[in-house]
Structure 1
């Protein structure tokens, strides 16, 4: 039972303690990508997961893989000549209200933007139980978008896509136009509520939104995350809802959505029903908020304990 993910993982620079880059003297450095975070989460929770990508054969590209290996994630990387593509970078400033977090993208001309289907082991993609990628990969270039579509169409199992929409990469209209061409090859769509409203140009309550998106694009499942308000899903004409699990002030909530996705996919691969998968995803996301960095050392026993405690409170 396996999960294959593919996509770009950038290096994320972050100043400490709410500082801004213009005054910070020190910054932290972390690997940061939707596909790798999803795979790493599923792997930590006991799944058989592998992350495919294309990176420049440089110290920065090797830095990404080294960090992913620290988390026990299996990787399969196409190494590119540095002249053919660079390492993507992001710059993240965490802020407390009334300031807002800021994410700056520096991901033009990256190696992942040149990836073609023939460079990846298609046999593994065809045999995987779930193949996952994110819209941010398709945003890198026309070549990346075409490759994303080809890999999803080649997948033999569940084909999952996360909108992963970032205005610093493309506009909502560009994202919708490009991703719409891929939706026929997607069974399961994940999205953050605000990103879904922007890309699909929709308003309305979450229950209405997941139903409308599923009906309009013929997705078998739609999972909509709502940060501190929990998660809503639509599957087989049934709505499913899961409240968020309360935590203290978040240490780092930048990748809680991706951690939830990884936990949900691992549960679905194991044959769990939708409600159980969402409960585990919500618990994993809560734990992710309590630790710094996109890649968090979540332990299966912690997730199980939170799910059980939350279930007991709901009775």
Structure 2
């Protein structure tokens, strides 16, 4: 069985129920997630041997966050316990013309104060096949950027395939800082998902797929990648989107079919595309088939409340083939 390691911050999500605004809220729904945790959970649910590396406080909240992904079969043996605080974010779910809004409370979280010696990357990567990290982790702190680079160096030494999901978050750092950090990390990657900060500095972030697909080719050439891929989203409203994806493998540009769908919960849609693409690569699917699987995985997530994608391969493959929405009896 293929073994995948992910590294990043575990988060508690607090959301006002029933599309309420923060100013109206008198209680919150609780979910646990984080980009790398979401990928690890979804991969385990798809049948892969996934390992999640993070640091959380050694208290009930830290253990609750880890338990929330361990229950789906994620290996958490390399989780470090310590520090004072679990990372937190608040999500106000949008509707119609009102966009969703996120407020982060991650300062001084357990992982932001992590030390290099707390992670034995040599042991963690022994016998593993792939390593995933996102641009969110190095955005947390300069120390986390350093630890991320240490992890990437060791993963490269041990010949793991390396996936970097850019996952740019404007509320965590600006593009200039992101570019300074990520241009040091991206050369380790074999596969990059999302547009890199150097490209985002130059273009309108409201990407037009027909105008910017050539930039995937530029990413492959700049960072000597096997694959560069990105989703392209049209937001008809906060509850109704269209989505397709494109991938360049150094030889050919691939495009998935486009889906139009209603949204239950948008959080984790990008993580699910990453999950689906990793799955397709691990299963050695043809590139077009892997891209279709990844896009369908992302679309499926939008129908599920919470951060994580609770789905099995047969459900994704059914959607990718144009499956029915009739009641399954």
Residues 1-315 of structure 1 mapped to structure 2, 5 A cutoff: 1-75=2-76, 76-82=78-84, 86-122=85-121, 123-155=123-155, 156-191=159-194, 199-203=200-204, 205-227=211-233, 228-247=242-261, 249-309=262-322
Q: Secondary structure at the match of 1:103?
A: strand
Q: Distance in 1 between matches of 2:186 and 2:221?
A: 12
Shift of 1:172: 1.4
Does the 8 A contact of 1:175 with 1:199 survive in 2?
no
Does the 8 A contact of 1:2 with 1:130 survive in 2?
yes
Shift of 1:200: 4.0
Q: Secondary structure at the match of 2:229?
A: strand
Does the 8 A contact of 1:55 with 1:111 survive in 2?
yes
Shift of 1:126: 4.7
Q: Distance in 1 between matches of 2:180 and 2:277?
A: 27
Question: In the superposition, relative to structure 1, how do residues 196 and 96 fare at CA in structure 2: closer, same or farther (>3 Å)?
Answer: farther
Q: Distance in 2 between matches of 1:298 and 1:118?
A: 36
Shift of 1:159: 0.8
Identify the range of structure 1 (290-299 vs 115-124) with the bigger mean alpha-carbon deviation. 115-124
Shift of 1:196: 5.7
Does the 8 A contact of 1:176 with 1:199 survive in 2?
no
Gaps of at least 5 residues in structure 1 are 311-315
Does the 8 A contact of 2:178 with 2:197 survive in 1?
no
Question: In the superposition, relative to structure 1, how do residues 234 and 198 fare at CA in structure 2: closer, same or farther (>3 Å)?
Answer: closer
Q: Distance in 2 between matches of 1:290 and 1:259?
A: 12
Q: Secondary structure at the match of 1:168?
A: coil
Q: Secondary structure at the match of 1:292?
A: coil
Q: Distance in 2 between matches of 1:77 and 1:302?
A: 31
Shift of 1:270: 2.0
Does the 8 A contact of 1:10 with 1:32 survive in 2?
yes
Does the 8 A contact of 2:179 with 2:197 survive in 1?
no
Identify the range of structure 1 (206-215 vs 165-174) with the bigger mean alpha-carbon deviation. 206-215
Shift of 1:219: 2.3
Q: Secondary structure at the match of 1:73?
A: coil
Shift of 1:37: 0.7
Equivalent position of 1:313 in the other structure: none
Q: Secondary structure at the match of 1:182?
A: helix
Q: Secondary structure at the match of 2:228?
A: strand
Shift of 1:81: 3.9
Does the 8 A contact of 1:126 with 1:154 survive in 2?
no
Does the 8 A contact of 2:49 with 2:74 survive in 1?
no
Q: Distance in 2 between matches of 1:93 and 1:124?
A: 36
Identify the range of structure 1 (228-237 vs 113-122) with the bigger mean alpha-carbon deviation. 113-122
Shift of 1:129: 1.4
Question: Which one has a larger percent helix, Structure 1 or Structure 2?
Answer: 1
Q: Secondary structure at the match of 1:260?
A: helix
Q: Secondary structure at the match of 2:308?
A: coil
Does the 8 A contact of 1:139 with 1:175 survive in 2?
yes
Gaps of at least 5 residues in structure 2 are 234-241, 324-329
Q: Distance in 2 between matches of 1:140 and 1:159?
A: 20
Write out per-residue CA displacement over residues 48-67 of structure 1, whole angstroms, 9 at most, x where no aligned residue.
Answer: 11111111112221121121
* Superposition TM-score, scaled by structure 1 size: 0.90
Q: Distance in 1 between matches of 2:200 and 2:88?
A: 23
